Amino acid sequence: MIGETLQLGLAGLGTVGSGVYETLCRNRELLEARAQISYAVKKVAVGNLARKRDVEIDPALLTDDWHELVEDPDIDIIIELIGGTDEAYQLVKAALEAGKPVVTGNKAVLAVYGSELFKLSAEKNVPLYFEASCGGGIPIIQSLQNSLICNKVQSIAGIINGTSNYILTSMKEQGLSLQEALANAQKLGFAEADPSFDINGWDAAHKALILAMLAYGTPLSPDKIHVHGIEKVESVDITTAEKLGYSIKLLVVIKHHEEDGALELRVQPSFVPQSHLLASVNGVFNAIAVKGDIVGETIFYGRGAGKNPTSSAVIGDIVLAMRECRLNGYHTGFQPYTKELAVLPMKETVTPYYVRFVIHDRPGMIASIATMFAKYDVSISATSSDFGYIDDEGVQHNNLIFMVHACKWQRLKYVLRELRENHIIDRLPVVFRIETFND
């Protein structure tokens, strides 16, 4: 039975919001038949009533005050798609306090305020759904909550920022510099006018925090994650990686260390073996590898952003919310279920490394650097060098590359610090982790 019509309140009519509204209207008959629930969009909150819309909508549905959605007793479910953090936080919090389930695609608000909002959701027994916050149309949230529910998640590794992945792919396939690839991404609409969060890694970090909270049932805040972006990736790194059998990807790594219960949380450009499926994820596509103690490794792949994939994920959550509105006392919205886990200090994390020095071409340089590696018991697996550039004063600079066996990050930091303090090198090297996916 379809029963009484559920009323929806939509906040935000931007790219994703307009896609959600259009689909809810266009596919209403199909959605109602599949969900066996009747629905209607009762009110839509926007920032500017006078703004021209890309979607046809009855002006009578519009308001410029989202409080009207929360305070309307007839509205059953709130859909938050306004973006940003502070105002979105106020909206989600108010809706949960009013007993209204919330569907959101806002990764930033969950990364910054997730611990508080999830706690409030649990206290009020009002669900918060957020499938679209991670990976666009990839159904990773529902998979972790349902399909993989019997697994202890050992690790999550993924490419979850389409803009950075497009840039790195363009650098590899077309031989472009980072700035040239970024300019192309902006022309094609794959990058914002201000791409800072994509380039510096924080867009991926926000998604990583959400995945970690979900996988391990623990509250986390942005200060817990180590983040490096792709700013220092150069063409020489791309080509060297390819020669050695790797691809460079902006990688999210979430790993649970059973021996001490600590979580490893980091985002950084990494060397990914070309034999691993993540290495072949190109362009704006995303992929997330989840390793469970029962299922082993699974890969989730698809478009990680954009109007249609994100709208698909949002509407999936809306249907889930509508169904669970009919089930008194039951919902699948996330609730933290363990105590706060310790986060492994970055100095204790262990991987192999790629280290590229840009040095003056002078005798004894390689031997001096190698001696410093040996002093701190950091083992070198291979070295190579090639021509870098000649500066304005006619001095030649070479790229000197060391491949380093797995060691704690702290030991490698000691090496690099002492090389700099002793003036053996003039500038900090470029360092990338090499992911092995063996543990």
**Residues known to be catalytic:** 207
CA dihedral 280, 285, 286, 287 (to 10 degrees): -40
Closest CA to 138 of 288, 317, 298, 319: 288
d(CA 259, CA 22) in angstroms, rounded, equals 50
Q: How many C-beta neighbours within 10 Å does residue 40 have?
A: 12
Specify the residue for token string 């609730």. 335
**Amino acid in the structure at residue 166:** Y
List, in order, residues 6 or more apart from 107 with CB less than 8 Å away.
Answer: 133, 134, 203, 206, 207, 210
d(CA 271, CA 143) in angstroms, rounded, equals 27
Show the tokens assigned to 434. Answer: 């090499």
From residue 75, alpha-carbon distances to 40, 70, 107 in Å are 10, 8, 24
Residue-wise DSSP of 379-419: -EEEEEEEEEEE-TTS-EEEEEEEEEEEEEHHHHHHHHHHH
Alpha helix ranges (H) inside 152-199 = 162-174, 178-187, 196-199
3-class SS of residue 246: strand
d(CA 248, CA 433) in angstroms, rounded, equals 10
List, in order, residues 6 or more apart from 438 with CB less than 8 Å away.
Answer: none
Answer whether 279's CB lies under 8 Å from 272's CB.
yes
List, in sequence order, every beta strand (DSSP E) within 205-259.
226-227, 246-257
d(CA 32, CA 190) in angstroms, rounded, equals 33
Strand bridging mode 226-227 / 128-129: unpaired
DSSP single-letter state for residue 290: E
Closest CA to 238 of 191, 157, 230: 230
Question: At 201, phi and psi to the nearest 5?
Answer: 90, -5
Largest CA distance in the chain: 83
